[in-house]
Structure formats: C-alpha cells, structure tokens
Amino acid sequence: MRPKSAPIKSLSLSRITARPLSSTPACRCPPSCLALTRRYRHSKFLSLDPSITVFSLPRYASSSSSPSNPTTTLESPTSLEMAPKNKFELKTPKGTKDWEGKDMVIRDHIFNTITQVFKRHGGVTIDTPVFELREILAGKYGEDSKLIYDLADQGGEICSLRYDLTVPFARFLAMNKQIQNIKRYHIAKVYRRDQPAMTKGRMREFYQCDFDIAGTYDPMLPDAEVIRIITEVFEGLGWNGGYTIKLNHRKILDGIFQVCGVPEDKIRTISSAVDKLDKLPWADVRKEMTEEKGLDGEVADRIGEWVVLKGKQDLLQKLQSTESLAANESMKKGMEDLALLFEYLEAFGCLDRVSFDLSLARGLDYYTGLIYEVVTQGSAPEVTPGQENAESKPSKKKGKKGSEDDDRSDDPTVGVGSVAAGGRYDNLVGMFSGKSQIPCVGISFGVDRIFSITKAKMAAEKNAAVRNNDVDVYVMAFGQGYLKERMSVCAKLWESGIKVG
C-alpha cells in the first residue's frame, strides 16, 4: 500500500495515461485505489473531463498480491516527475520548409501571375485529394514510381500521397464522364521521396501549378496554346526571354530507338536513361544503357549519334531527309505533328523561344506525343572535362550523388533543373475508364524552382525591394491619444477598399 505520510504530487504529463471510467472498474481495484482516482479527478492542478481518469493504475505482483491484498506499491508521483524526457531536434522534415515574410510575398506574386494567365486562357480550377488509392498511381511514372510516398492506412485502403497533379486529373475525368472538353488549372502541393536540394527549389513537398486542355480539338492546336501559355507566364514574371522551351515528340524518340535496334521491351527503360542527359554526360548514360539495362553497345552508339542533336525546322528537315527514319511509321506521325506545331507557334509569335532537342525524353510513362521542358541558362550546366569521367570518380559528398542532386554550384540559379514541364497524354484517362479515351495535353510549373531563381534575380537587382505586406497607408497621430479617431479613419479607409496597416 502507498504510505499515508507521502503527499500526493502533480503527475508528470509525459507518463499520464487516459482511461474512461465505468461503474465497474475493469481492474477490480480496491477502495483505496478508487479513492485515489477520485482525489486525482477532483484535484485543483488538473482540470479534466470527469469521464477521464488520469493516473497510472497500481501494478500488482502476480505471485503474492490480490485485489483485496495488494503487496506492490503504486509508482510514486515523484518518480514520474523525475523520469527523463525524450529529446529530439525541433525541425521540419527533410525536404520541407516553413514559409514566411518576404518569401511568401514572392511566392504569392508567382501564384498570382500564373493564375492570371490561366484564367486569361479560359481555365477553370478544380481540387483533388492530397492522397489517392495506391492503384491509381501505380504504373504511371516508370522508374520514378520508387519516389511515391505510401501511407499506412488502418481503414483497409492502401493509399499514397499524390506524385503530381496529372494522374489525379485523369482519374477525375474518368469519374466524371459528362466532362468531354475542359481547360482546367490546379495549384496544389505534391510529394516525392527525392534527394532534395533546398536552395535550388528541389524539395520533397512542393507546389505545382498545372494547366491542361482535355478534349478533341484540331491537331496540335491545344499543344501550341500550352506553349503560348508558358511564354506568357515567364514574360509575366519578368524573365525577359531568359528561358528556353525544349521540345521533342515521343513518337520521334521511339522511332529513333526502333531504327537503331532497341528491343521493344527496352524502349521505356532506355528512354528513362536518355532523360538523364540534362544532368549526366553521354559516357555515363551509355554506361547505364549497356551495363545496367543490357543494351548492346553498338545500338547505344547509334542512339548517341542522334540524341545530341538540337535545332528547329532545320533538324526536322534533317530527320525527314534520312531514309531509314522517314520510313518508320512512328517517326512519320511525330514529324507530321512537329511540322504543324512549328506553323502554329510562328502564328502565336513564340517560335523563337523553342528548341527541338532530341535528348529530351521525359521519363514518365503516360506521355504519348509532344513533350517539353522549360530550362534556364543554369538549369543544366555544361559538363566540364573533369566531369566527363564521373563514372570512375565517385562523389566525395557522403550520401549524395551528383546525378541526383546536380549540386555543382552554390548559385541558386544554377542546377535547378527544369522549371516547368509537360506534354500530351492521350491514353491516361482510358487507363481508368476502359475504352473511353479523352485526349489531353498540359503543362506543370514548379513553383519552388521558379521561386529560387526569381528570388536570386531580385537579390541581384538591388532596386527590387520586397515588402512583407501590401499595406498602402499607415495612420498615425502626433502627440498622445487620438486612438479612437485613428480607428475611425482606418474604418473609412477599409470601407473604401484601401489597404491600411
């Protein structure tokens, strides 16, 4: 029994357990134990719901105690108070950050600029759950599927955090069959278990701003409008042409692989390897193709002759004049699409911003036609001679790979990768709704990467001051008092729509 002389002290909350009371205690405690319960419940130092008991019940030794004759002692409150507390580092999870102050002002400016462009093109907004059923996301992202966050759900459903906003949109269309044509935009957070580089806007939790055109239209017309939207967004952000829209066509890339001799079952994996050419030299990509993915070396060399080429209509003409490529059916369709696209882009006045780049692959499996990425001068720095043999020189940075981080510079504008990307995905909706296909094309803007570059540019321009708020007017008075008078003035200014601090 607990000694009567020992006073009852306040319990340490780290050791408190909560149990509902009942008329018949489950532990069949003796009267002394129940009295202790009442004393704790009505004590002044704990204001609790009377239906909750907050104390640790006495533990009785099985060998020599019983409900009527307990021989073990109740763990004293003093010992509870002295129990060591768990220590941990107070921080946000890896790849995430808190936003405040001037950073929020800059990010809101980016959101507002992008939203205005989306609305100008007739976009309507939707919202979808932050997590989806695992089956919805499975098999849509190729080798990037390993970056999906899976959730442990006790309700019986296996769910994952959304990897992007495109697959949820396709699921939305499949569930709402009455929607056959829509220009939709969506601004929300997505999640990826990637290796983060915080200063360059590569995070595990980040915002995407998506615009998609779903439905049947004239060939390549929606694709051209999406590229026009890209130019309007970055010109609206004040980038003044400091970006390039790299584009390619999945059917052209697949046609090159077929002509070069890539087996059909290896086309997607080889495409994923080519997609790394913006971060790795050709020697590393070739090594991955041959040693990791089992491609014949001669086939890899033939691919290497093509994927280094870039241009505009001149490159398209080169492909059309190559007999082996021109005879390939996949190549024919891709080249027809690009020829029409170049005509439309010239009419839209944005042809000068694009580059036809055969190294662009986009590793996601759901793309079926035109693909594109927006890069800046520092998005993919040129590989120096010392880095060409990177495969023989492992990185000295513990736990990081240069191929994943691309962290070759402390400059926030260098090595951020693409700041926007997208393409055509005509078969994705059909994966959820059987035979019902809705052609789609879209673009996704990476807000955090755009933020990193925008903030660095503003810091370089010393006259670009950023305020923490949008207040237009401050109300003050000389001397003491006049509080109510100032309040009255503020009220009238607010009624007139003026921002007052």
Question: Does 166 appear as a known binding residue?
Answer: yes
- Known binder of ligand: residue 108? no
User: Is 472 assigned to a binding site?
Assistant: no
How do beta strands 150-151 and 159-161 pair?
Answer: antiparallel
N-to-C CA span, the chain: 64
Please report the DSSP string for 278-331 in residue order.
GTS-HHHHHHIIIIIS---HHHHHHHHHHHT-EESHHHHHHHHH-HHHHT-HHH
Residue 38 annotated in ligand binding: no
Sequence length of the chain is 501
Pairing mode of beta strands 205-214, 131-133: unpaired
- 458-464: long-range contacts at Cβ-Cβ below 8 A with a sequence spacing of 24 or more? 458/106
Q: Does the annotation place 362 within a ligand binding site? A: yes
* Cα–Cα distances in angstroms (integers) from residue 90 to residues 84, 86, 93, in the given order: 18, 12, 10
Q: Are 282 and 304 in contact (CB under 8 A)?
A: yes
| Residue 153 in marked binding region | no
Q: Is 165 annotated as a binding residue?
A: yes
**Residue 210, phi then psi, degrees to nearest 5:** -110, 140
**In angstroms, rounded to a whole number, what is the distance separating the alpha carbons of residues 470 and 205?**
27
Q: What is d(CA 226, CA 184) in angstroms, rounded to the nearest whole number?
A: 12
Residue ranges of the binding site for L-histidine: 164-166, 192, 208, 212, 362, 366-367
Residue ranges of the binding site: 164-166, 192, 208, 212, 362, 366-367
